[in-house]
């Protein structure tokens, strides 16, 4: 039996990316409702402005690597769009909203809408540009901010990276599940930063992450998040 390390401030957030997309259309109201019923304590969502300047929740196309930089695809997937206002009206307070935000326009509208319903404390704004994220964090003190690191950190660089997050008032670091170790989690906690793991889709990996003290685990299968969390001390090997 393995010993679980503590998270920074309470049980790990179980973030259903796109809702319960194994059972309902990804990023649909049905999927988000079902995710909370199945036990998710957070929702992962992409937030963007549509051509009518409405703020919608819809999956963006996957990022692709072009040389040393990531290029994002600005076109959301087809299908009917879910308005953020409709999602906020349906999802109860206390469910963490792990919102990926790509630009200033969407961020300003996002803060306005979550503030209007008193949900800033539930918002975890996720972005991959540290300078822009830092500027946003200074304008919305009640919300939380997560720096997304797409590539594995170079050897020996993570401590400097986490120190920069503390200096910039960024609450958390997000990396792919396969890039986190218990040592990395301990380092983030030493600087008072939370550790988020994304692309966590396999129960043995999720169990390992929970034992390491991860503060949030993001995956697309709700049951794979909830079941290991119910028995975090079980060694899957």
What is the tens place of the pLDDT at every residue in 23-32?
999 999 999 9
The reported pLDDT for the residue numbered 180 is 95
Residue among 194, 192, 200 nearest 217 (CA): 200
The residue to which tokens 């590539």 are assigned: 151
DSSP characters over 162-220: HHHHHHTT--EEEEEGGG--HHHHHHHHHTT-EEEEES--SHHHHHHHHHHT-SEEEES
Residues 6+ apart with CB under 8 A from 208: 236
The reported pLDDT for the residue numbered 65 is 33
State whether CATH 3.20.20.190 applies to domain 13-230: yes
Summary mean pLDDT of the chain: 87
Domain locations in the chain as residue ranges = 13-230
Tally Cβ neighbours within 10 Å of residue 117: 12
**Can you state the percent helix, strand and coil of the chain, rounding each to 5?**
35, 25, 40
Rounded to two decimals, the pTM is 0.88
Whether the pLDDT of residue 10 is over 70: the answer is yes
The reported pLDDT for the residue numbered 54 is 87
The reported pLDDT for the residue numbered 230 is 81
Instruction: List helix spans (H) across 52-181.
Output: 84-90, 104-116, 130-139, 158-167
């Amino acid at each position: 039996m393995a010993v679980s390390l503590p998270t920074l401030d309470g049980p790990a957030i179980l973030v259903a990316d796109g809702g319960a997309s194994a059972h309902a259309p990804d990023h649909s109201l049905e999927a988000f409702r079902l995710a909370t019923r199945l036990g998710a304590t957070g929702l992962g969502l992409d937030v963007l402005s549509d051509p009518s300047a409405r703020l919608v929740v819809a999956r963006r196309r996957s990022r692709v690597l072009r040389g040393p930089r990531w290029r994002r695809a600005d076109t959301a997937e087809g299908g009917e769009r879910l308005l953020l206002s409709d999602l906020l009206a349906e999802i109860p307070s206390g469910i963490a909203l792990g919102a990926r935000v790509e630009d200033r326009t969407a961020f300003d509208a996002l803060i306005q809408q979550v503030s209007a319903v008193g949900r800033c404390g539930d918002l975890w704004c996720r972005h991959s540009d540290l300078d822009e994220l830092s500027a946003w964090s200074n304008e919305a003190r009640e919300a939380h901010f997560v720096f997304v690191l797409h590539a594995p950190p170079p050897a020996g660089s993570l401590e400097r990276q986490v120190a920069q997050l503390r200096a910039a008032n960024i609450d958390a670091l997000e990396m792919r599940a396969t890039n986190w170790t218990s040592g990395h989690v301990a380092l983030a906690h030493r600087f008072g930063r939370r550790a988020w793991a994304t692309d966590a889709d396999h129960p043995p990996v999720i169990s390992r992450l929970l034992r390491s003290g991860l503060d949030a685990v993001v995956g697309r299968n709700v049951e794979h998040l909830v079941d290991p969390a119910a028995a975090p001390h079980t060694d899957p090997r």
